[in-house]
């Protein structure tokens, strides 16, 4: 197999809480997919948000993955070490005139959206208040000028291959409609000033840096994937193949929460569960 044909999957948890069965399912799916195609799994700690990420959760991620028998190839990427890279990417986008500073608070945006002259009052798409302002240091975020971004790549087809969504086993090609990007997302926040990036920017840059060929993750991230496809095209980065799997739900049919310690892998282990029981749990119908 040529080097470039090697399947490279990844698991990219944020240390904002203890991992639960949903994470175990995601990590094991990615790991098993990689093994099946003689590929590798890479690990990335998505710890850009200083306020929410904690060292104790990060340490537990490594312990939980070891316990589950998951192996990954080194080095582990830590997003908190990569702010200079995100900064450089933002600089490139700024030089292309694709981003602008915004100092709107959530409340400002809410008020602007409920202004009486707007007919679409329920939409949460940013109304572009700061687009033509010339702010200095008094900004809170950088926004992508979506219309301009789409114009610069107008000759490209935006699309990605999906192999998991809706529990369909079939592979399908999903087209990203530029109109949808404008109406559903608009001028998204591409970096928060306090953390120096956004989830979407960091993920796209890091998936490329780690050479990820296959992204396996929960279907709750399917809806925002078009943003990542757009960014890959803007930054001239290859689009990986996506596999959005079903979410693991609790016995009431609700999403598992990182906030709930009782559902964590750590607590299940402390209650005496072993790996085999975890594997049985996540493959039992009750959770789907």
Chain residues that interact with ligand GLU, rule: CB under 6 A = 12-14, 46, 203, 217, 221
What interhelical angle do 55-68 and 21-36 show, nearest 10? 50
Task: Identify which of residues 14 and 89 has a Cβ nearer to ligand GLU in the complex.
Answer: 14
Q: How far is the CB of 169 from ligand GLU (least distance, A)?
A: 21
Q: Using CA atoms, how far apart are residues 173 and 155, in angstroms rounded to an integer?
A: 18
Q: How many CB atoms are closer than 10 A to CB 104?
A: 21
Task: Identify which of residues 46 and 187 has a Cβ nearer to ligand GLU in the complex.
Answer: 46
Decide: 215 and 243 in contact? Cβ < 8 Å: yes
Cβ contacts of residue 134 below 8 Å, gap of 6+? none
Task: Identify which of residues 43 and 102 has a Cβ nearer to ligand GLU in the complex.
Answer: 43
Residue recorded with tokens 């107008």? 154
Q: How far is the CB of 45 from ligand GLU (least distance, A)?
A: 9
Indicate if the alpha-carbon torsion angle 196, 183, 244, 173 is positive or negative.
negative
Residue recorded with tokens 């929410």? 52
Task: Identify which of residues 201 and 268 has a Cβ nearer to ligand GLU in the complex.
Answer: 201
Q: How far is the CB of 203 from ligand GLU (least distance, A)?
A: 5
Q: How far is the CB of 66 from ligand GLU (least distance, A)?
A: 18
Task: Identify which of residues 19 and 104 has a Cβ nearer to ligand GLU in the complex.
Answer: 19
* 229 φ, ψ (degrees, to nearest 5): -65, -40
Nearest to 42, CA basis, from 73, 71, 63, 15: 73
Q: How far is the CB of 225 from ligand GLU (least distance, A)?
A: 9
């Amino acid at each position: 197999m040529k080097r470039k044909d090697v399947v490279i999957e990844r698991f990219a948890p944020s240390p904002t809480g203890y991992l639960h069965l949903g994470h175990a399912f995601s990590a094991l799916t990615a790991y098993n997919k990689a093994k099946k195609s003689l590929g590798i799994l890479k690990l990335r700690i998505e710890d850009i948000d200083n306020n929410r990420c904690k060292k104790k959760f990060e340490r537990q991620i490594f312990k939980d993955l070891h316990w589950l028998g998951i192996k990954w190839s080194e080095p582990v990427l830590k997003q908190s070490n990569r702010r200079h890279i995100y900064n450089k990417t933002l600089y490139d986008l700024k030089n292309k005139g694709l981003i602008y500073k915004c100092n709107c608070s959530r409340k400002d945006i809410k008020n602007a959206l409920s202004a009486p002259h707007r007919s679409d009052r329920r939409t949460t798409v940013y109304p572009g208040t700061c687009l033509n302002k010339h702010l200095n240091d008094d900004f809170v975020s950088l926004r992508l000028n979506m219309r301009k971004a789409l114009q610069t790549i107008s000759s490209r087809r935006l699309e990605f291959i999906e192999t998991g969504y809706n529990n369909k086993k079939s592979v399908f090609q999903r087209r990203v409609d530029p109109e949808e990007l404008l109406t559903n997302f608009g001028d998204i926040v591409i970096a928060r000033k306090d953390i120096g990036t956004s989830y979407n920017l960091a993920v796209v840059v890091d998936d490329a840096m780690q050479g990820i060929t296959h992204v396996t993750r929960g279907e709750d991230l399917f809806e925002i994937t078009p943003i990542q496809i757009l960014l890959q095209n803007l930054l001239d980065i290859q689009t990986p193949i996506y596999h959005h799997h079903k979410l693991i739900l609790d016995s009431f049919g609700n999403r598992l929460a990182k906030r709930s310690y009782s559902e964590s892998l750590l607590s299940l282990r402390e209650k005496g569960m072993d790996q085999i029981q975890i594997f049985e749990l996540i493959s039992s119908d009750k959770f789907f």
